[in-house]
Structure 1
Amino acid sequence: MADAGAAVTDTHPLLFHAAGSGTLGRKAAVHFAACESRDALIYVPAVVIWECVLLVRAGRVVLRHGVHQFFEDLFSNPAYQPHDLTPGQVLAGEELRFNRDPFDALVCAAARDLELPLITRDGEIRGSGAVRVIW
């Protein structure tokens, strides 16, 4: 069931927010700020956690205290909730292959599973119409 104050995050918005880089879209920044004050909820799909692990491992992202501590700190705020990957999402993701990035398909499948909008600036996701987008 959808919650008006809830959304799902893609990988890059979560990392942009954590970095305080100011590169979030206006609506995305408002949603993350509401989450920080516990006035909104953001679900973090397991596949986003995995993509962060891979980005850190590849040296493309540096997290000050490492990936494990990053997510431990993140989930200490109850406004951020992990969302498990299910076989149903994997199968739905196969039908959502609008590009070659399996992470995009699985993140969209998580948003559809929760019936929530996805926080993303990804043009291919936005253009696909697969999910409602916040940016």
Structure 2
Amino acid sequence: MKPRYLLDTHALIWAVQDTTRLGTKARRVLDSAGDGEVVVSSHSVVELGRLIQAGTVETDGRPSDWFAPILRRFPVLPASLEAAIAAPVLRLPHADPFDRLIVAEALALRVPLITKDGNITDSGVVRVVWYVNQTEQKLTKIGLAPVGLADPVCLAA
């Protein structure tokens, strides 16, 4: 099945550890997605490994065990040359290499990114899916989106 969404690293962590931290639209997408519709970039796997190694993300047991449910639930896509070329020149407000590569992968795949990252959302570089609650969804649909929400065209999909 063709990918329809790409998970940002924090969304991936929350999808595995604590789905209550996901936005309502993001949670709905994850709950209803078919096999292979929500994918993970190999860049997120590297970033997650670094976060585990730094102790930012805690695991019970070996870090490799933490990846098992991810690999069962979400296909991990290899890095693309297209994203590697695009990442350095993206108009993002910061230089975080993982954010740049993950956004570039979403653009290369032509899919929205599931992310809460306000810097990415506010940049307008990529379509995002999130919604924190129904009130924000309604405000977005009538054009009164609070700062940090994604474009309503993508979110309504």
> Normalized against structure 2, the TM-score is what?
0.74
Shift of 1:86: 2.2
The higher radius of gyration belongs to: 2
- SS at 2:75's partner residue? strand
Aligned partner of 1:82 in structure 2 is 76
In structure 2, do the counterparts of structure 1 residues 67 and 42 end up closer, same or farther at CA, with 3 Å as the change threshold? farther
Q: Does 1:56 align with 2:52?
A: yes
- SS at 2:5's partner residue? strand
**Pairing partner for 2:115 from 100, 107, 120:** 120
Aligned partner of 1:6 in structure 2 is 4
Q: Which has the higher contact order (CA 8 A, sep 6+)?
A: 1
Q: Does 1:67 align with 2:53?
A: no
For residues 21 and 71 of structure 1, what CA distance do their matches in structure 2 show? Answer: 17
Shift of 1:65: 4.2
Contact conserved, 1:11 with 1:52, CA < 8 A, in 2?
Answer: yes
- SS at 2:88's partner residue? helix
Q: Could you say which structure has the higher strand fraction?
A: 1
For residues 32 and 41 of structure 1, what CA distance do their matches in structure 2 show? Answer: 9
**Pairing partner for 1:130 from 117, 125, 149:** 125
- SS at 1:22's partner residue? helix
Aligned partner of 1:24 in structure 2 is 22
For residues 116 and 48 of structure 1, what CA distance do their matches in structure 2 show? Answer: 16
> In terms of mean alpha carbon deviation, does 112-121 or 4-13 score higher?
4-13
Question: Which amino acid is the alignment partner of residue 131 of structure 1?
Answer: V
Contact conserved, 1:31 with 1:40, CA < 8 A, in 2?
Answer: no
Q: How large is the Cα RMSD of the aligned pairs?
A: 2.0
Contact conserved, 1:9 with 1:44, CA < 8 A, in 2?
Answer: yes
The count of aligned residue pairs is: 129
Shift of 1:64: 2.5
Structure 2 segments unaligned to the other structure (5+ residues) = 131-157
- SS at 1:43's partner residue? strand
Structure 1 segments unaligned to the other structure (5+ residues) = none
Contact conserved, 1:34 with 1:40, CA < 8 A, in 2?
Answer: no
Question: Which amino acid is the alignment partner of residue 114 of structure 1?
Answer: L
- SS at 1:121's partner residue? coil
- SS at 2:60's partner residue? coil
In structure 2, do the counterparts of structure 1 residues 101 and 88 end up closer, same or farther at CA, with 3 Å as the change threshold? same
> In terms of mean alpha carbon deviation, does 68-77 or 95-104 score higher?
68-77
Q: Report sequence identity in percent.
A: 31
